[in-house]
Chain A
Amino acid sequence: MNRKGVLSGLYPMTKLTVVFFVCLSAFIAGDFRFGYFVVFPCLLILALLEGQFVPYAKKLVSAIVIMFLFIFLIKACLVPSETVLWRWGILKIYEQGLADALSLTSIILVAGGTILLFFETTDIEDFMISLQKVGISHIGSYVFLSTLQMIPDFIKKSKTIMQAQRARGIETEGNLLVRLKAFLPTLTPLIISSIADIEDKVITMEARAFSVEVKKTHLKEINMASRDKIVIGLAILGFVLFLIWRFIL
C-alpha cells in the first residue's frame, strides 16, 4: 500500500488497540450521543483525511442502513412498551423502544464503523505479519491470505463452469426447481478440482520447508515506530479520562 495517510502509516496493532478502546468506551458510555455525535463524525473525518471517504462510506452504508431501519422499526414501533411518544394512524413510536434502539444502534455504529475503518486503512499482509509477531502461527496467516486470493479466483471459475454446463445442456434459467438443479453441477466441479490440487500444493510447500519448526523470516519488515507508542499512550490516557468522567464526575 503506497498511500501515505496518517492511519495507513500506523502499525496495525496500534490501530487495533485504539479500535478496542473506542468500542469498549461505547459499551460503557450508555449514551447514544457518544456514538452518534462524537465517534461517528471522528470516523468520517479520519476517512476523509485518509482519502478513503467514498469507499468507506459506501461500505458502511451497505452494511448498516437497512439493519438500522429494521432495528428502529422493530424496537420503537412494533414492540409495545408503556409510553407512546408519537402516534400517526396505526403507527406508534414508543419512548422506551426508541431509547433502546438509539443506544443499540450507536454501539453497532461504533463497533462496525471502527472495525471497517481499520480494515479500510490496513494492508492485510501487514496485519498478518504483525499478528505473527505477537505469536499467531504462520499457518494461520497462510490460511487467511490464501483464502483472500482464492475467493475472486473461485468466483471466476464458477462463472466458467456454469457456462460450460450450460453448453452441455444444463438449464440455468426457468422455474425455481430448474435453477435449483443447476446448483450442484456448478459447485461440484469447482470443489473437486480444487481438492485435487491440494496435494500438489502440499508437496510444493513442503519443498520450501513450510512446516519446519524454525523462526520464519519475512520478505517485508514492519516495526512499531515511536509515533505508535505515542498513539497507544494517548488511547490509554483518553480511556482513563473517559472512565473518570463517566464514573467519578
Chain B
Amino acid sequence: MLKKLGMMTTLLIPICIAVNVVGGYIVTLLKLPLYLDVIGTILAGALTGPIGGALVGLVTNLITGIGNPVLIPFAVVNIAVGIVAGLCARKGWFTTFKMTVVTSILIWAIVQVTAVPMTVILFGGTAGGGSSVITSFFLASGKGIWEAVFSQSIIVETVDKLLATFIVYFVIKRIPESTLIKFNLGSRYVEEAA
C-alpha cells in the first residue's frame, strides 16, 4: 500500500506523526487548555488524501501507545479524522476559507461519532485525564452516561478540532508551491494561488 503512495508521501508520514505529538507538547509549553494533537493527521490528509491521513492516525496512536497502551484503541478516532480530512481535501475543500469551515465541522462530527461510543463502551465513560471531571459533573447532576460523555466531548473537543483544522489551512498557505506540487493533492493548492 505504501509503495503506491510514493516516496514523498512515505516520508511525509513520520513528519506528520511527529507534528501530532509536538502539537500536544507546544500546547503544554504555552499552557493552553487544548489538545491540538490531530494537526499532523489533518495535514497528511490534506496533502496526500485519505490513505495517508489514516496511516498517520494509526501510527500516531501506536507510537503514543508504547508509553500508554490505553491510547491504542483511540487510533480509530484518529484514523477517522485522517480519512475525513483526506476526502475533503480531494474535493479541494482546504483551498477556501469557507469550505475549510465545512471541513472542520465534518472533522468535529466524526470525532464525536467515534470517540463517544469508544469511551462509553470500552472504558465505561472515561479515558482518564482532566476532562473526566466534566463527565462526572454531568452524571452527578442526574444525566445518563451517554448524555454525560457526549456533553463532555462537545465542550472539550469543539474548539480544539475546529482550531486544528484552521491551523492546517494556514500552514498549507505558507508551504512553498514548489514543495506543495510534489504531493499527491498538492496541485489543488497551487492552482488556487495561480
Contacts and interface: CB of A to CB of B under 8 A. Distances in A.
Size bin of chain B's contact surface? 35 or more
Contact of A183 (B10, B135, B167): B167
A51 interface: no
B112 interface: no
B155 interface: no
Interface string A153-191: 111001100100000000010001001101110111011
B51 to A, nearest CB: 13
A100 interface: yes
Contacts of A202: 7-8, 11
A188 B125 CA distance: 35
Contacts of B80: none
B15 A150 contact: yes
A62 B128 CA distance: 10
A185 B23 CA distance: 12
Given A151-B22, A190-B19, A137 B136 contact: no
Contact of B2 (A71, A111, A139, A172): A139
A183 B139 contact: no
B102 interface: no
A108 interface: yes
A216 to B, nearest CB: 13
Contacts of B39: 187
B63 A144 contact: yes
A84 B65 CA distance: 37
Contacts of A101: 124
A146 B63 CA distance: 11
Most buried by B among A67, A70, A79, A194: A70
Interface in A191-231: 191-192, 194-196, 198-199, 201-202, 205-206, 210-211
Interface in A49-107: 59, 62-64, 66-67, 70-71, 73-75, 78-79, 100-101, 104
A63 B70 contact: yes
Given A148-B63, A198-B8, A112 B69 contact: yes
For this complex, into which size category does the number of interface residues on chain A fall?
A: 35 or more
A133 B179 CA distance: 35
B32 interface: yes
A76 to B, nearest CB: 10
- Do most interface residues of chain B lie in helix, strand or loop, or is the interface mixed? helix
Contact of B25 (A59, A155, A191): A155
Interface string B1-18: 111000110111111011
A139 B7 CA distance: 10
A124 B59 CA distance: 14
B123 A143 contact: no
Interface in B115-137: 123-129, 132, 135-136
Contact of B18 (A140, A154, A182, A205): A154
A13 interface: no
B145 A191 contact: no
A119 interface: yes
Nearest to B132: A70
A70 B128 contact: yes
A59 B67 contact: yes
Given A78-B139, A183-B27, 16 more contacts: A63-B70, A66-B129, A70-B128, A74-B136, A100-B124, A143-B59, A151-B17, A158-B26, A158-B29, A182-B30, A186-B30, A188-B171, A188-B174, A192-B174, A196-B179, A211-B3
7 contacts: A66-B132, A172-B30, A186-B30, A188-B170, A191-B171, A192-B175, A199-B8
The 9 closest A-B pairs by CB, nearest first: A67-B128, A78-B139, A70-B126, A115-B69, A147-B14, A70-B132, A63-B68, A139-B2, A150-B18
